[in-house]
Every structure is written in C-alpha cells, then in structure tokens.
Amino acid sequence: MVVDPARVPGHVAIIMDGNGRWANQRGLKRNAGHEAGEQALFSTVEGADALGVRDLTVYAFSTENWKRPVEEVRFLLGFNESLLRRRADELHDRNVRVRFIGRRDRRVPARLVRLIEQTEGLTRDNDGLTLRIAFNYGAQAELVDAAQRLVDDARAGRLEQVDESAVAARLYDPEMPAVDLLVRTSGEQRISNYLLWQAAYAEMVFVDTLWPDFNGDELARCIELYQQRHRRFGTAMDTPMDRREPPPGDGDATT
C-alpha cells in the first residue's frame, strides 16, 4: 500500500502520547522521553510536508498538564521555549508557518509568550505547511473563550446571530480548517479535550507506537489507513462521494 497523493488529508492533528512510557522502558526519567519527542516531531513535520499535508496540529501542552508534578511542568515549559529558540529558523527555512493555539494566560511565562509571538511573526508569510502547536490548550476552554467573545460581541452590537460560523469565527485560530485525520500514539484511544469542534468529522487512527518512535514513515502509514476509510459526513451510505454535501462550514475559512 502506498499513499495516494490525490487523497492526502489536508489537516492532520496529532496527540503525541507515550513519552513517559518510552523513557520508563529505558530506565530513564520521563523528561528524557519528552526530549526524544523532539526528533519525532521534526521527522513528522518533514514527512507531512513531503506528503502534501497542508496543516499539522500537535498537542504540546494541555490545560490539564498543569496537574503534573511541578518539576515536569517546569521542564515542559522550558523545553518548549528552548525548542522554539533552537528550531524557529529551521522551520522558517522550511517555509513552515508556525501558529499557537491555546490560552496565553498568566501561568505561561511572559518570556515564552514573547517567543511564541516572535516565531509566529517570523513565519507569518510562509506558504508551506502550517504547523499549529497547541499549548496550554483545552478544547473546552477554547469553547468557553469563544462563548465569552460571543457575549462580549452581542453586548457591543457586533453579533447578528449565533450559528456555527459565529462560533467558529471566535475560536483561537479561525483560519484553521476542519481536521481530516486525528492520530494518537501510544495505544490510548481517547480525544483528551483536543480540537473537539474542529475534529467533528475527523477520521481517527490510533497507533501503538510511543511518540518518540513515531516519524514521517509512521505518518505515511496512518495516512494509508485514512485512505481506506469512507467519509460520510452524516450522509447515507449509498450517497456517492461526489454528491455529498460537506458538513456545515467545511472547507470554509472559519472552521
């Protein structure tokens, strides 16, 4: 089986799971697993780009990850910062546009927020792969924040009606397209508060590989599995693909 270049998912989202277990299996500290995850991430970015994926969104730190031991939280914050510092130019040279989705609240160190904004600014006009890093991200928090914006806009007279596009326009990145393929590594089969709105019609692929062992070839295998699926978007099974209505907002810049 090979990837059909005509049916590559436009938007792939990944839950990079299993760093801790990878490290434990080797008698290492959990943080060594996160460090090893960097290489997996860059191989996956390279693979996604080569296959023609347009958008790749990875879950780097969730709103629930603050509950981890303080040393691990501190490590993850510092690691994200050092990764950006070390790799921003390389991503820029690869024509990757980097964006962050998540709450930029007071728990995120100001230095990291500045670096995030610099990286977004540096790569803003790139027209290759868009790499979104979900950081201090939770889908429920994103929907709460969108609801708050709806209320604020309604009070200010800036809201005509509440519908799907009104909500989509108030998500962290309104330009983010719907997720086509959602991959989770490490054998867990959960969504874990990730992209609940955007992944409404995503195909799910769960692989046993622990994140540090994932790479561009593994991504290609996930895409092969995706290409065996029949996406129906809520339609009847006997509706031919080419006569199906897209889901509300699909392919629209606001979902």
Interacting residues toward ligand FPP by CB under 6 A: 16-21, 34, 37-38, 41, 58, 60, 65, 79-80, 83, 133, 186, 211
Structure tokens at 169: 């326009």
Q: Are 167 and 197 in contact (CB under 8 A)?
A: yes
For residue 170, the Cα-to-chain-centroid distance in whole angstroms is: 17
Between 33 and 249, whose beta carbon lies closer to ligand FPP? 33
Smallest distance from ligand FPP to CB 86, Å: 11
Tell me the closest approach of the beta carbon of residue 147 to ligand FPP, in angstroms: 27
Q: How far is CA 50 from CA 18, 46, 54, 128, 198, in A?
A: 25, 6, 10, 10, 24
Find the catalytic residue in 17, 49, 55, 180: 17
Task: Show the tokens assigned to 52.
Answer: 């023609």
Residue 184 sits at φ, ψ, to 5 deg, of -125, 130
| Closest to ligand FPP by CB, 18 or 249 | 18
Residue with smaller CB distance to ligand FPP, 88 or 146: 88
Q: How far is the CB of 84 from ligand FPP (least distance, A)?
A: 8
DSSP states of 187-238 as a string? T----TT-STTTTTT-EEEE--S-GGG--HHHHHHHHHHHHTS---TT--TT
Nearer to ligand FPP, 58 or 139 (CB): 58
CB of 102 to ligand FPP, least distance (A): 12
Annotation marks residue 217 as catalytic: no
Task: Report which residue's Cβ sits closest to ligand FPP.
Answer: 20
Told to judge if 127 belongs to the known catalytic residues of this protein, a careful annotator would answer no
Pseudo-torsion of CA 108, 89, 118, 112, nearest 10°?
A: 10
The single residue of 4, 49, 55, 65 carrying the catalytic annotation is 65
Instruction: For the beta carbon of residue 213, count every other beta carbon within 10 angstroms.
Output: 17
**Residues labelled catalytic:** 17, 65
